[in-house]
Chains A and B, each alone.
Chain A
Amino acid sequence: MGKLLYELTESVRIALAQIRANKMRSALTALGVIIGIVAVTLMGTAIRGIDIGFDRSLAMLGDDVMYVQKWPWGNVDDWWNYVNRPPLKPEDAVALNRIIEGTVNSQLSIGVFDDARSTTVKAGGASVSGVYVAGANADYGRILIADFQEGRLYNETESDSARQVCVLGYDVAQALFPGRSPLGSTVIVQGQPFTVIGVLVRQGSFLGLFSFDNQMLMPLGAFRKFFGIRNDNTELQVKIKDKNRLEEAKEELIGDMRRVRGLLPGERDNFSVNEGQAFKQQLDPIKQGIAFAGLFVTGLSLFVGAIGIMNITFVSVRERTKEIGTRKALGARRRTILLQFLIEAVSICAAGGVVGLALTYGMCMAVKTAMPNFPLEFSVSLVVTSMFVAIATGVISGFVPALGASRLDPVVALRYE
């Protein structure tokens, strides 16, 4: 055991001396590995970043909320099967809640109807266009995921009497009332004054497509009074009791909705039950495709780095053939020679890996500072994985030349000039 240890120490010493003696050459070879590692790790951080951004977005949808809508999420090829479905109506929510109450051990807790429209909101001289204004009654408080930065949601009395009060999303509040609290102020929607009674905390955007901060909530009664009843963007948000039993809850909800809609057995659903998990399942293959293609392309650059390592190890073996012969004459076994050159290759790769990781870390930090929302995620597992990859690169690309060195005939090697 001691013998192997001494041989290893000796090998490391030789490898370091060798690298020191050929600084330029080693640096250039390491550069290939560095570029490869930077490419692969950057890709890794991007993939992880996408994952995390995605999960964050899904969390905004709520992992215990299902959405009953006219259209399913994602693309449909057979739009004609959906376009004539009846819209969701407030009565649907009433009927659904009655069924839920009547079900023993129901997995569902409540369904809330909401309608929404995109419009312009004004206050004083300022105005924000494209605000997503939603109308729902006070029950919405039981579903709402976002916390209140200040104020509150309208209560049942305000809701039932269609009081002109509203809750603003973070961005809307910031745009209309920069640097001061909007509570108690008046905003104008559809030419009507609404009193601000609450502001939601900042939530961010969903996959960068839809901002949850660019919204406004008001009692359903008030919404219908000023926006009319078009029912073209309506939905039921249904909260479930146990998010670990999502499938069960979904089954139940579909059954309940069929009863609400009075569908006969054999008739197709005329509604869609959407939820974040299903959305995720739909997007997962795309995500995997991106990851695979990305890692393959960046992996190619690491492969080029590996070829550089192999080449330099071949050169190193060739240059030191006589030394190998001498060492063998003095009693070096095959294993010793193999280790010596492998460790040299691995050292260059490991050094490249460390520098590459440091560069990646620097880039991630720079990007994070410049664009806080850009999905990049540097992690410990990334460090471990890429160091493993770097070392494996060294072992694999150094192996063939090192094996050749270990098998040299000492007589031939000693005679080599």
Chain B
Amino acid sequence: MTPPAPAEPRILRPVGPLVISIENVTKLYVMGDETIHALRGVSLEIRRNEYLAIMGPSGSGKSTLMNMLGCLDTPTSGKYEFNGQDVASMVDDELADIRNREIGFVFQTFNLLARSDALKNVELPLIYAGVPPQERRERARETLESVGLANRIHHRPNELSGGQRQRVAIARALVNRPSIILADEPTGNLDSKTGVEIMALFEELYERGNTLIVVTHEESIARHARRIVRLHDGLIDSDGPVD
């Protein structure tokens, strides 16, 4: 089921400047009269050109950390800086702008718009960025070509295989040239062969100079990365390079 870990030695790119800096972040959820400490004080630094995997069993705070990193959520306490900007104190629309410019999301369930073709799906972040139509279409087309979908541009999601759908989603994540690509279980809904293909694409993206963060609970997926952060009970258990 799970794609095998890569065997051959891989390129390790030199890391660049600091992109994400998290310091002693906590997150509390109040559910009825119960308070859940999803994160109990997490500190993390991510630099440009890193390929990072975040691992942990369910309930470890993995999803919460991902939402935080993706600027979908703000911490209860602690510091979060994204390219030097203080994210922790941002309001909804400011977060939306950060997500639009700086973060490319890849979801487990692809989350493509069913009634739009591949091109329209990839164009979407550019619409929110205010890119004019002509440029939008060109960039979306180029990005689709770069993930190997040159001949699927006008196909709708239901006319594409799972792997192709995830490629469209990856193109959508790449199209606005974000600082980081944030992938949540990107192979979770794919068969193992297709999963290998997607992880190979990620490897390619990394080599092209993208910063990747993959959230997963599968060791074999995590081992594609260059660095693994393991969470347990809302705390970082370990953080180090893949041996």
A6–B130 touching, CB < 8 Å: yes
B208 within 8 A of A: no
Residue in A3, A322, A331 whose CB lies within 8 Å of B96:
A331
A326–B130 touching, CB < 8 Å: no
A331–B111 touching, CB < 8 Å: no
B107–A330 touching, CB < 8 Å: no
Given contacts A3-B130, A334-B93, A336-B128, A414 and B107 within 8 Å (CB-CB): yes
B127 within 8 A of A: yes
A269 within 8 A of B: no
Interface size on A, residues (CB 8 A): 25
Closest to B132 in A: A2
B96–A333 touching, CB < 8 Å: yes
B72–A410 touching, CB < 8 Å: yes
B99–A331 touching, CB < 8 Å: yes
Chain A residues lying within 8 Å of B96, measured Cβ to Cβ, are 328, 331-334
Closest to B109 in A: A322
Given contacts A322-B111, A326-B111, A414-B107, A331 and B130 within 8 Å (CB-CB): no
Residue in A327, A333, A409, A411 whose CB lies within 8 Å of B97:
A333
B10 within 8 A of A: no
Closest to A2 in B: B130
Interface centre among A21, A326, A333, A334 (most CB of B within 10 A): A326
A256 within 8 A of B: no
Closest to A330 in B: B125
Interface size on B, residues (CB 8 A): 28
Residue in B93, B101, B107, B129 whose CB lies within 8 Å of A326:
B107
Chain B residues lying within 8 Å of A7, measured Cβ to Cβ, are 127-128
B159 within 8 A of A: no
A63 within 8 A of B: no
B99–A329 touching, CB < 8 Å: yes
A188 within 8 A of B: no
How long is the Cα–Cα vector from A335 to B130 in the complex, in angstroms?
Answer: 14
A158 within 8 A of B: no
A414–B111 touching, CB < 8 Å: yes
Residue in A17, A331, A414 whose CB lies within 8 Å of B129:
A331
How long is the Cα–Cα vector from A335 to B96 in the complex, in angstroms?
Answer: 11
A10 within 8 A of B: yes
- The smallest beta-carbon distance between A9 and chain B, in angstroms, is 8
- Encoded as 1 (CB less than 8 Å from any B CB) or 0, chain A from 331 to 368 comes to 11111100000000000000000000000000000000
How long is the Cα–Cα vector from A411 to B107 in the complex, in angstroms?
Answer: 12
Instruction: Sample 13 A-B pairs with CB under 8 A, ordered by A number.
Output: A323-B113, A326-B111, A327-B128, A330-B99, A330-B125, A330-B128, A330-B172, A331-B99, A331-B100, A331-B128, A334-B93, A409-B73, A414-B72
Apart from the given pairs A10-B127, A330-B125, 6 other A-B contacts in the complex at a CB distance below 8 Å: A6-B127, A322-B111, A329-B99, A330-B99, A331-B100, A335-B93
